[in-house]
Amino acid sequence: MTDEQGSGRHVVILGGAIMGSFSAWFLRKQGFAGRITVVEKDATYAFSSTARSAASIRTQFGTPSNIALSLFGVDFFRNVKAHFGPQADIGYRENGYLILGGPDVVTDRMAGVAMQQAQGADVIALTPEAVKTRFPYLNTDDIGIGTFGQTGEGWFDAWSLLSLTRSGARAQGVEYIEAEVTAILSAGDRITGVRLTSGDTLSCDLCVMAAGAASGRLIATLGVKLPVSPRKRTVFSFRAPVDGATFPMLFDRSGIWIRPEGKGFIGGIQPPADRDPDATGDYEPDHDLLQDPFWPLLAHRIPAMEQLRLERSWAGHYEVNALDHNGVVGPHDQLSNLIFATGFSGHGVMHAPAVGRAVAEWIIGGRYATIDMKPLSWNRIRDNLPMIETVVY
């Protein structure tokens, strides 16, 4: 980028949670000298997907692109103090992911492990007997295979990560404003700015769409169809008589997930398709999911957890990309100064460092230097060519 690394240019980032903040932070780290404004409608982040996520990271994906994004994130989290200073702490804990499958998926899952290993992930396949030996509290009677991330998988404190990133961006001169965008404005083949609920217009040279679950609604103001919308996911926090010290993040073949959190556990399950509408404005936990099907399925897999004691529950939004459950990264084909960083369908928090770096690289240099994001480009949305992510919870 000429003009002293864009010193005369203004980047407006829509969405100030983890994806938008990493985009802003990396822009500065990569030498962008222009103005950066992050527009966030709720400065408390109380209802952001970041704050309400399960805050986990895994390398067990069905697409190589997602594995590459995760490996970048793992390295970033392991070295968080080098990025944010000696006091930085996100509580990163690598206890691994254990994903259980039935006898009918053994062949496919073995092929998946081979692909993941080829991409650099430290994932192994376990027989039911090996699963039982490692995790004796599990019922493995109906299990055909378990896959386990020995390293590079675990969880962290998403709020701490967001706080560090926002503070780091602000310390480098990034401006955050609390405002809600009502429309994205364009002229010809370029975005010219955004209109706010106050009636004010914020002009820009580049616009980064990092508004998470609201991205589809916002981009529709341009007449562009992006199949990203909010879907509600309820998280249950509970105590159970199981030692969580070496407990992994467990993805069960039934669809439930569970991991340790503090002195207890958190877990959940996707609602059935007919109870999973667009959840705009809806943050009420779906308490019915606890009694049916979550608790019975949990007690089947971990009999000791039949004595579960619920402490609290909350709901957050997945930014679900209905095309293929994968993120959208990079420029629009016709509106070239519109950059996507959205649609990650539940894995945005873990992939935010890599995506933020990629956004910065594209804006500054017009290319991806670290990870090739072309498989996640807008063009597959335009052409209706899904790159389906098969490991989705």
pLDDT tens-digit map of 126-165: 999 999 999 999 999 999 999 999 999 999 999 999 999 9
DSSP state at residue 294: I
The residues of the chain scoring below 50 in pLDDT are none
Q: For position 197, what pLDDT does the model report? A: 96
Phi, psi (deg, nearest 5) at residue 182: -100, -25
Say if CB 235 and CB 268 are below 8 A apart.
yes
Q: For position 7, what pLDDT does the model report? A: 78
Give the separation between CA 267 and CA 54, rounded to whole angstroms: 8
Bridge-based pairing state of the strands 175-178 and 35-40? parallel
Q: For position 4, what pLDDT does the model report? A: 58
- Residue-level length of the chain: 393
Q: For position 89, what pLDDT does the model report? A: 98
Pick the CATH number of 2-54+158-227+323-382 from 3.90.850.10, 3.40.190.10, 3.50.50.60, 2.60.40.10: 3.50.50.60
Q: For position 6, what pLDDT does the model report? A: 77
Give the separation between CA 79 and CA 88, rounded to whole angstroms: 10
Give the separation between CA 124 and CA 228, rounded to whole angstroms: 33
DSSP letters for 12-65 = EEE--SHHHHHHHHHHHHTT--SEEEEEES-TT-TT-TTTTS--EE----SSHH
The whole-model pTM stands at: 0.96
Please report, for the chain, the start and end positions of each structural domain, with discontinuous segments joined by +: 2-54+158-227+323-382, 94-154+233-317
> 94-154+233-317 has which CATH code?
3.30.9.10
Say if CB 90 and CB 160 are below 8 A apart.
yes
Q: For position 63, what pLDDT does the model report? A: 97
Say if CB 45 and CB 162 are below 8 A apart.
yes
